[in-house]
Amino acid sequence: MAVVGYARVSSVGQKLDVQLEKLKQYGCDKIFEEKVSGTTANRVQLHRCLEYLREGDSLVITKLDRLARSTFHLTQIANQLEEKSVDFVVLDQQIDTSTPTGKLLFNMLASIAEFETEIRKERQLEGIEKAKSKGVKFGAKKKLTEQEIEQMTQEREAGVLVKDLAKKYGISIPSVYRLIGGEMDLQRALNSVGKTCFVKYYEEFASDKPVEDIVEILLNKEGYAETASRTRVNNARKIIRQGLSNQALDLVINSNHSLVTEEVKKIATLIKRSS
């Protein structure tokens, strides 16, 4: 029965020394370590650590936030460990799921963490609304003016290569395509997703959850199962990642398509106002 440790810090500049020392003092036989943000889904060492664990082993970490990027993710890992019959130990919070008390404490802390996240989110939204009311603008400043975009579009129509336009205006090639033909590309993307589905499940698409998790959630939601597919979910995520959410919502709001009802347009309008 192996005692396996996992240590993580968010950036290259931070040190793992304190966590490693605690894990070694506890008696870990093997320690997986990495320097990567907790919100990143692709954590190679964490995946290797979870695959390495066998029945009867113990997974040891120093704090809960070193392991999971959200309460949902933490619950997933906990279930995975339970299925493998692996005990879970958190040193700083004094949790040991090999004992009834430890299991109870773990579940309580997970619930409290979820509650704190919701409170923090609510306060953040209140702060954003207050800042907006004072005229504060959020988001990155546009690199190009409307006149420059128009000029770039004309140059492209005249035959100038996209890579040359990107170099001239100091932007990436995908940005050139988005700016000179973004609305048309977005219209095609939205058609492949389904405007109704995109709006009704916008919050899932815009969340931090891995694509696979979103697929499973949406496939099981009432009213989506008939039209859902992995391709549609991936396309919807792509729209969000490209930073085109407001454009997407505008297209839905102004759409004359029979599937886009007034109710859907109303939902899209509310989402846009709160974003």
Q: Which residues are catalytic?
A: 10
Residue 184: CB atoms within 10 A of its CB come to 9
Closest by CA position to 268, among listed 203, 215, 173, 210: 203
Question: Left (φ > 0), alpha (ψ -120 to 50) or beta: where does 6 sit?
Answer: beta
Task: Find the helix or strand (DSSP H, E) in which 257 lies.
Answer: none
**Beta pairing partners, 262:** none
Task: Find the helix or strand (DSSP H, E) in which 28 lies.
Answer: none
Complete DSSP assignment for 130-169: HHHHTT---SPPPSS-HHHHHHHHHHHHTT--HHHHHHHH
Helix (H, G, I), strand (E, B), or coil: what is residue 53? coil
CA distances from 43 to 10, 31, 36, 124, 169 (A): 11, 15, 7, 27, 35
What is the layout of strands, in order, in the sheet containing 87-90? 30-35, 3-9, 58-61, 87-90, 95-96
Token couple for 252: 């839905």
CA distances from 110 to 9, 22, 113, 197, 252 (A): 20, 22, 5, 31, 38
